[in-house]
Amino acid sequence: MNFVQMIAEVTKAQAEITAQCLEVTKGQGSEDYSDAFYVIGTLWQGISAEMLWDTYKDDPVKTVEDDITHKSMKAMIEKARNEVDEAWATLVPFGITKEHLATAGAAE
């Protein structure tokens, strides 16, 4: 898992949404940009979930409680990954995709 890349992508997406929002809304409220900021939060939560999974996924399962915890964490990471995929899809109408961010980063 490349956490540096994940963090860079979300940071770039957040900066781009912020710039667009300020330009388009002139500081006024917006349902569309409210949704965009919400999904930026979802992307940060996805990174958090991936970090937890990466930290604990290989812990030994010695008891029933350990097994339950492991299965619960596995379900949590799958849910988080699905939510992250949906979040990235929500940013597409704003012109923000991982591919776009990678290209923008290379041009800088």
pLDDT(8) > 70: yes
Whats the size of the chain, residue-wise?
A: 108
CA dihedral 100, 43, 47, 81 (to 10 degrees): -90
pLDDT at position 99 is: 87
77, two tokens? 């990471």
Question: Hey, where are the domains in the chain?
Answer: 3-107
Rounded CA-CA distance 66/72 in Å is 10
Phi-psi region of 29 (alpha: psi -120 to 50; beta: other; left: phi over 0): beta
Model confidence pLDDT, tens digit, residues 14-58: 999 999 999 999 989 999 999 999 999 999 999 999 999 999 888
pTM of the full structure: 0.85
CB atoms < 10 A from the CB of 61, how many? 12
Q: How far, in Å, CA of 53 to CA of 56, rounded?
A: 5
